[in-house]
């Protein structure tokens, strides 16, 4: 497939005029507040109060990276990350208990054969969790897991899929309210890639591996999965079209008691690659899928909506000159989406839109007020449709990036952005999770004077 320009390359002369005026007005309207917040780590934002930034792990000599976090219905959270021990990378975890704070960080994988990377974690309503990661065995990458049981703690790491002819990687996990989970990953058999899955059934254990997409492709990639309250799931991924010229976005649905259906094509634009698919699922299985689409000139954001009993509605254009989409779905079928947009002054900005099941897509909005680059947004929603967006934003004064946040209130709209970090620190890998009650946890990797650590801030509703 033909290589396309990276979206972080600036797009000259795009989207000028009215948008520039809007951005200037926004900057002026919040200048005093942003100047006050800066990188001060202020706690107040849009009528809510964040707890102070807290260190999640205490290794003072080696770097940590790639944090992920999930929160249960009671406001307790589990964070996982990559921790270097001076020789190789391992997977560590810590648990946050509402009212008590973070516990002691502990390793959940200590295989010294090779590095362990890219952990993911999911929790059920009462706090049981499963963490997954990819592990190098000296020849190939394999997919591993460990389970946290409330009251018992972490179990032993176990192999989910061994790469025997090629790597197993790009693993993702989703878990329902009752502790049932589904893991998907990409696996290379020496010639082609396949999307595989494995289910965890609460009280039973892991089931056999199953193919999600039985048709092989050398460039098949980026599987993502979400699960509804009954344990049904939707997986999306990208794969080359018949000609092999471009990649398309595909989806398949898993139904409890039935199994996997037939893969379906979600995008119909043949002018360029469709990639980086993301999926959100509501309580009963309705879904929203986003992806970025190359049109021959720039990347744009497209979406498709799945409705129970009706199927996929068809691809819809959402925004131009944009990439890195993310989606979070409310239990009633509404959704909030966020992405990085190429700015009019050769900067990248954070843009959002809302999907209302009864009316469709709303207007596009900017949620950060800066003339410097903002990148890599993440989004989470609660049960009422309130949302929290986080991203990394370049600080032109300090000369490096910070972690920022903005909150959406269903009654008041988006608030004013604030920095989550302490002064003179560099932030990256920011992630956010939110439960139905509106409790939220943000984690990120932060470089200060010494090593890179994992930090967090908590919002209690």
Instruction: List C-alpha distances in Å: 400 to 269, 323, 373.
Output: 38, 22, 10
Task: Answer yes or no: is pLDDT of 172 > 50.
Answer: yes
C-alpha closest to that of 126 among 106, 104, 151: 151
Give residue 243's pLDDT: 74
Supply φ then ψ for residue 379, to 5 degrees.
-140, 145
Residue 303 binned pLDDT confidence (cut-offs 50, 70, 90): very high
If pLDDT is split at 50, 70 and 90, which confidence band does 268 have?
confident
How many CB atoms are located within 10 Å of the residue 310 CB? Answer: 9
Q: How far apart are CA 21 and CA 6, in angstroms?
A: 27
Only one residue has tokens 């917040």, namely 37
Q: Looking at the DSSP assignment, which residues form a beta bridge with residue 132?
A: 120, 145
The band of 241, judged by pLDDT with boundaries at 50, 70 and 90, is confident
pLDDT of res. 9 = 41
Q: Residue 34: is its pLDDT beyond 60? A: no
Judge whether 350 and 368 are in contact, CB under 8 Å. yes
Does the structure show a pLDDT above 90 at 32? no
User: For residue 43, what pLDDT is reported?
Assistant: 57
Domain ranges of the chain: 18-459
Name the phi and psi angles at 21, rounded to 5.
-60, -40
Reported as a pLDDT band with limits 50, 70 and 90, residue 117 is very high
C-alpha distance from residue 340 to each of 10, 65, 217, 343, 410 (Å) = 12, 22, 29, 9, 22
- Interior angle at CA 423, CA 419 and CA 424, nearest 5: 120
Q: Is residue 415 predicted with pLDDT exceeding 50?
A: yes
Q: What is the CA radius of gyration of the chain?
A: 21
| Residue 244 vs residue 200, higher pLDDT | 200
Percent of the chain with pLDDT over 90: 76
pLDDT at 217: 66
51 DSSP 8-state letter? P
pTM beyond 0.75:
yes
Which pLDDT band holds residue 44 (cuts at 50, 70, 90)? low
pLDDT (mean) for 102-118: 95
Among 169-173, 212-216, 219-223, 438-442, the range scoring the smallest mean pLDDT is 212-216
Region label for 41, one of left (φ > 0), alpha (ψ between -120 and 50) or beta (otherwise) = left
pLDDT at 20: 37
The answer to whether residue 127 scores a pLDDT higher than 70 is yes
Name the phi and psi angles at 449, rounded to 5: -75, -35
Neighbours of 270 (CB within 10 A): 11
d(C-alpha 121, C-alpha 125), whole Å? 14
pLDDT tens-digit profile of 308-362?
A: 999 999 999 999 999 999 999 999 999 999 999 997 767 899 999 999 999 999 9
Please give the Cα distance from 280 to 354 (Å, whole number).
Answer: 13
Assess contact for 330 and 284: CB atoms under 8 A. Answer: no
User: In this structure, what token pair is assigned to residue 76?
Assistant: 């307790």
| pLDDT > 70 fraction of the chain, expressed in percent and rounded | 89
Joined tokens for residue 401: 């990036």
Q: How many residues does the chain have?
A: 461
Contact 312, 264 (CB under 8 A): yes
Task: Tell me the C-alpha to C-alpha distance, in Å, between residue 157 and each of 54, 110, 178, 184.
Answer: 27, 9, 21, 17
Asked if pLDDT for residue 388 goes beyond 70, the answer is: yes
**21 falls in which pLDDT band (50, 70, 90)?**
very low
Partners of residue 185 on adjacent β-strands:
196
Is-contact 234 279, C-beta < 8 A? yes
Span 11-35, average pLDDT: 36
Instruction: Report residue 255's pLDDT band, with 50, 70 and 90 as the boundaries.
Output: very high
* pLDDT of 2 over the 80 cut: no
**pLDDT score at 334:** 98
Check whether domain 18-459 has CATH 2.130.10.10, yes or no: yes
Please state, rounded to an integer, the average pLDDT across all residues of the chain: 89
pLDDT for 45: 58
């Amino acid at each position: 497939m033909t290589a396309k320009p990276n979206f972080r390359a600036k797009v000259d002369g795009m989207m000028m005029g009215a948008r520039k005026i809007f951005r200037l007005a926004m900057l002026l309207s919040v200048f005093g507040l942003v100047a006050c917040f800066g990188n001060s780590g202020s706690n107040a934002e849009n009528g809510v109060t964040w707890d102070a930034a807290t260190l999640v792990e205490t290794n003072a000599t080696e770097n940590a990276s790639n944090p992920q976090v999930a929160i249960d219905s009671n406001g307790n959270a589990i964070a996982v990350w990559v921790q270097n021990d001076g020789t190789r990378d391992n997977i560590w975890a810590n648990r946050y208990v509402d009212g008590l704070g973070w516990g002691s960080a502990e390793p959940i994988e200590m295989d010294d054969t090779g590095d362990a990377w890219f952990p993911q974690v999911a929790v059920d309503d009462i706090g049981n969790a499963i963490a997954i990661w990819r592990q190098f065995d000296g020849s190939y990458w394999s997919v591993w897991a460990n389970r946290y049981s409330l009251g018992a703690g972490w179990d032993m790491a176990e192999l989910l899929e061994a790469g025997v002819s090629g790597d197993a990687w790009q693993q993702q996990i989703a878990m329902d309210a009752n502790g049932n989970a589904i893991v998907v990953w990409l696996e290379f058999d020496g010639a082609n890639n396949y999307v595989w899955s494995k289910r965890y059934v609460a009280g039973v254990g892991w089931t056999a591996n199953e193919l999600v997409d039985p048709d092989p492709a050398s460039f098949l990639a980026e599987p993502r999965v979400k699960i509804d309250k009954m344990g049904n799931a939707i997986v999306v991924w990208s794969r080359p079209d018949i000609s092999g010229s471009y990649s398309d976005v595909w989806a398949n649905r898993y139904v409890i008691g039935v199994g996997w259906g037939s893969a379906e094509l979600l995008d119909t634009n043949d002018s360029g690659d469709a990639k980086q698919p993301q999926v959100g699922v509501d309580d009963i299985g309705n879904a929203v899928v986003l992806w970025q689409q190359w049109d021959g000139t720039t990347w744009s954001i497209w979406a498709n909506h799945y409705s129970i009993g009706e199927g996929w509605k068809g691809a819809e254009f959402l925004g131009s000159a944009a990439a890195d989409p993310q989606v979070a779905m409310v239990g009633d079928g509404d959704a909030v989406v966020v992405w990085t947009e190429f700015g009019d002054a050769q900067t990248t900005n954070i843009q959002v839109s809302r999907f209302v099941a009864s009316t469709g897509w709303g207007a596009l909005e900017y949620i950060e007020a800066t003339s410097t680059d903002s990148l890599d947004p993440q989004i989470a929603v609660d049960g009422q449709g309130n949302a929290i967006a986080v991203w990394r934003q370049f600080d032109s004064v300090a000369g490096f990036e910070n972690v920022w946040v903005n909150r959406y209130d269903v009654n008041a709209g988006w608030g004013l952005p604030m920095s989550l970090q302490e002064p003179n620190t560099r932030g990256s890998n920011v992630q956010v999770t939110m439960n139905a009650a509106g409790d939220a946890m943000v984690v990120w990797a932060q470089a200060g004077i010494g090593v890179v650590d994992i930090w967090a801030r908590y919002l209690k509703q």
